[in-house]
Structure 1
Amino acid sequence: MSRTEMLDDQMWERIAPLMPVASAKGGRPYRDHRQVLEGIIWRYRTGSPWRDLPAEFGSWRTVWKRHDRFSKDGTWEAIVATLLADADAAGLIDWDVSVDSTINRAHQHARTSRVTQGDLANYKNLATEPPDHGIGRSRGGLSTKIHLLSDGHGLPLVVICGPGQAGDSPMFPELLDAVRVMRVGSGRPRTRPDRVATDKAYSSATIRRLLRGQGIGAVIPERADQIQNRKNRGRSGGRPPAFDAVKYRDRNVVERGFNAFKQWRGVATRYDKHNANYCGGVLVRAIVLWLKRLRDTP
């Protein structure tokens, strides 16, 4: 494989049947999905402007338009869902999951409008572009935050892109609600992990109550102020929440997952104006990661 090819024949054969056949109902069939997808991967892997795509990928307009369409019509999400179902059927998903977020700087070319944060629940639907385009002003400047729920191997199960200044804790219920791994064949989709490990940013009574209500184990350390407040209340402060310090050591898999995402420069730095396009690029990275996992497992 050359530096402009990321998908080998085995990987392509797995997702080729999942690609749309026609551009619209009654429209002309798409041409050479593999060439276009390689172009999309190259662009996000290198962080290059769309106009600078090598000629071997065809017209840059075709590559950009197809990525724009597939990001907004749910194609990338559907492919990720199918790969997750295949991985779960093969026993490749570790359901002791981890949750965290990472901030990615937004390039000046990504700035489109005034920063006004919308409803956090709207960032799960890529078909509707939020008013702030998923760009917020954090301490480091304009940025986008990737919220990730990864399995026990650091591979993505849920990805949501939102503004950089948005808190981690308010997004947690949206991440948990988005867990939905379909079964191959019949059966209800799996929506509950066995355990969830997070850092202290997610330590709140609301999140612990949410996990307890769904029968999900919580591996979340208490913040120092919460420990002190409980002690100050004496007996009325209650017992400290259960915490498995040994299991918490595995939480770093989500950090390794972010490292894998940020190997692609177009993900590590946001150049896309629309949140749907940027998050679509993140989903393409997730597709490649799961394809490699499925290919490399006997």
Structure 2
Amino acid sequence: MDRYVLSDAQWAKMEPHCLGKPTDPGRSGGDNRRFIEAVLWIARTGSPWRDLPAVFGNWSTAFRRYSDWRKADVFVRLFEACSDEPDMEYAMVDATIVKVHRHGQGAKGGPQSQAIGRSKGGMTTKILALTDALGNLVRFELLPGHRFDTVGVEPLLGGIEFGGLIADKAFDSNAIIADLDARGAKMVISQHSRRAKPRPLDRELYKWRHLIENFFCKLKEFKRIAMRADKTDQSFSAMIYLAAAVINSR
């Protein structure tokens, strides 16, 4: 099980943000570190909760606890605690598609009530991510697989300052370029050939876009994320936050 075990440094960052600490009101939780490692086991293997090894305790108890922590935004706080101050000299934005397992399509209201849509790959979800200059996750948005990448860019960039934006041609949008100009931020975006007057592209800086692609590769090492098995966006997002907390703190 060592592959799924948190390092002492990671646990030191997470521990103050867990529910059920002895200093919290009400009932104290069980072993919080073991519980987080149980969720990581589920995320890494992509297994159903019922297959959780007995070493992590009762699967039903762990699932209910996961639901409680998700509703309390604990996984968001764990991500924030494990993420250093981002290097926003440059930001990078990109999207990746994940297929939705049939077990992830049974939410109340149907798939259309979640960020699930039909694209060329079938039922899919799109993870739109913003990373810093080092390729560490800063924010993400979930979109149905058939939506354009540019749809979720505005909430990603809102309230964040950065010196420039690196992105591929999927983000060659007049609205995005106008926003960058208004910010005084450098545009490092590959442009469509149909542009009559394309702007110069800093090709050396553009090469660093591989860092956000590297992040997606690390994220998809967690099989429950690579193949979405969570019915709701909230539950799927919690898995992403926890996986990104581990990635950012390596």
- Whether TM-score is above 0.5 comes out as yes
| One-letter identity of the residue aligned with 1:224 | S
| Equivalent residue, structure 1, for 2:208 | 250
Partner residue of 1:172?
153
Is 1:209 the counterpart of 2:149? The answer is: no
The aligned counterpart of 2:136 is 155
Aligned length: 247
Go from structure 1 to structure 2 and tell me whether the alpha carbon gap of 1:52 and 1:279 turns closer, same or farther (over 3 Å shift).
Answer: same
1:199 to 159, 168, 171: 168
8 A Cα contact 1:115 1:137, kept in partner: no
Instruction: Quote the residue 2:47 is aligned against.
Output: 48
Residue matched to 2:99: 105
Distance 1:205 1:40 in 2: 41
CA distance in 1, matches of 2:185, 2:71: 32
User: Alpha-carbon deviation of 1:70?
Assistant: 2.1
For the residues of structure 2 that align with 1:17 and 1:28, how far apart are their CA atoms? 16
> Residue 171 of structure 1 aligns to which amino acid in structure 2?
G
1:277 matched to 2:246? The reply is no
Q: Distance in 2 between matches of 1:115 and 1:108?
A: 10
How many Å apart are 1:115 and its aligned residue? 4.0
Unaligned runs of 5+ in 1: 117-131, 180-190, 231-238, 293-298
Specify the SS of the correspondent of 1:30.
coil
Q: 1:80: how far off?
A: 1.9
The equivalent residue for 1:185 is: none
Amino acid at match of 1:96: Y
Please show how residues 140-151 of structure 1 align to structure 2 within 5 Å: 140-151=121-132
1:73-124 CA distance string (max 9 Å, x none): 221112222333xx22xxx7353221110000001111124443xxxxxxxx
Query: What code does the residue aligned with 1:161 have?
Result: L
For residue 62 of structure 2, what is the aligned residue in structure 1?
Answer: 63
Give matches, 1:25-104, under 5 Å.
Answer: 26-84=25-83, 87-88=84-85, 93=87, 95-104=89-98
Unaligned runs of 5+ in 2: none
Q: 1:31 to 1:150 in 2, by over 3 A?
A: same
1:288 is aligned to 2:246: yes
Deviation at 1:53, TM superposition (A): 0.2
Deviations 1:120-162 (A, max 9, x none): xxxxxxxxxxxx2221111111011111111222221112222
- CA 1:245–1:43: 2 relative to 1, 3 Å: same
Query: Computing the radius of gyration over CA atoms, which structure comes out larger, 1 or 2?
Result: 1
In the superposition, the TM-score normalised over structure 1's length comes to 0.77
What is the root-mean-square deviation of aligned Cα atoms in Å?
A: 2.0
Q: Percent identity?
A: 30
CA contact (8 A) 1:67 1:280 kept: no
Q: Aligned to 2:165, what secondary structure does the other structure show?
A: strand
Q: Equivalents in 2 of 1:135, 1:249: separation in Å?
A: 31
CA distance in 2: counterparts of 1:220 and 1:93, whole angstroms: 19
Letter matched to residue 63 of structure 1: A
User: What amino acid maps onto 1:56 in structure 2?
Assistant: V
- On the 8 A contact 1:76/1:284 being kept in 2, the answer is yes
* Separation in structure 1 between the aligned mates of residue 111 and residue 34 of structure 2, nearest angstrom: 36
Match of 1:19 in 2: 18
- Corresponding residue SS for 1:224: coil
